[in-house]
Amino acid sequence: MTRTAHAFWLRAPGEGEIRPVTLTEPGADEVLVRSRYSGVSRGTETLVFAGAVPASQYATMRAPFQEGDFPAPVKYGYLSVGEVEQGPAHLRGRTVFCLHPHQSAYVVPADAVTVVPDAVPAARAVLAGTVETAVNALWDAAPLIGDRVSVVGGGMVGCAVAALLARFPGVRVELVDTDPTRAEVAAALGVDFATGETATGGRDLVVHASATAAGLQRGLDLLAPEGTLLELSWYGDRPVQLALGGAFHSGRLTIRSSQVGMVAPARRGSRSYADRMALALDLLTDPAFDALLTGRSPFAELPDVLARLSGGTLPALCHLITYDGE
């Protein structure tokens, strides 16, 4: 028995479309998932939409279940929540998260989905991939009790990191962004807010997620002597210029990268990818994360949504895509 679903494809840089997809009958160890929501990861997906993935990163940036190749045509995305319609008995009828491109239904191996806890609304669960990135970043950064921490860049990832840091005992967190409206999001997450000009200095740790050279430079300038900046931004094919004179050497500052593609070394021996994803979903029981869901559109409008996000005319943190009237 075959079924027809629909998927979003990037036909050419800056041009998206919805295409029909033929689904095969799921095998014994597979599930058929009917999508309820997917989320647009504004930073990475707009770079993909613009065709800005560097050729050297084509293999590294492949998403699970991606079809096609960069720059285009390519089926890309990785924040999907749906209901299992067919599959093993313990999964049938369950709401699950999957790292899958935007598609109305799909067949994947059963071990590619993670059950969403009952206490996590399906719409909020699309943030699991972003919170997983934040978890990995904090395993890399290893903040200490009482640390003074700034998160520079109030996008999806930056806000997710700030939300988790707010739970650390004695840690004072400041979200730094050029957009003053992010102050409302910071308040919802329980952290302080500042613009680049008013940001507090003398920080033990700065997590940078603005994907701008100016934000990276400001983050370095905020560090206390021997402080660390953890770089989460992905710049695509854009070069980054940084001034490393001044206090960089005398202050013995550190810049360290973090990337979700591998489990952080501090936990690699004791945590699997599945463990990390399950933890991210458990953390999403906190309703504060709803502040990251800043709009919704039906699946049919996704080509236009991505064009507007890429062009900057649609402001958003995580834009929710709905299926079948959700």
287 cis-preceded (ω within 30 degrees of 0) = no
pLDDT on residue 121: 98
pLDDT on residue 42: 81
Q: What is the pTM of this model?
A: 0.93
pLDDT on residue 1: 56
Q: What is the DSSP string of 258-289?
A: --TTS--TTTTTT--HHHHHHHHHHHTTSGGG
pLDDT on residue 234: 86
Listed in sequence order, the residues at least 6 apart from 280 whose beta carbon sits closer than 8 Å to its beta carbon are 128, 129, 131, 132, 134, 135
Residue segments in the chain with a per-residue pLDDT below the cut of 70: 1-2, 325-326
pLDDT on residue 326: 53
> What are the tens digits of pLDDT across the range 26-57?
999 999 999 999 999 888 899 999 999 999 99
Asked if 39 contacts 127 with a C-beta cutoff of 8 angstroms, the reply is yes
pLDDT on residue 2: 62
Q: What angle do CA 299, 274, 276 make, to 5 degrees?
A: 90
pLDDT on residue 263: 96
pLDDT on residue 324: 83
> What are the tens digits of pLDDT across the range 135-174?
999 999 999 999 999 999 999 999 999 999 999 999 999 9
pLDDT on residue 113: 97
Q: How far apart are CA 274 and CA 261, in angstroms?
A: 13
Packing angle, helices 156-165 and 128-141, rounded to 10 = 60
Q: How far apart are CA 320 and CA 134, in angstroms?
A: 19
Show the domains of the chain with their CATH numbers: 3-127+284-322 (3.90.180.10), 137-257 (3.40.50.720)
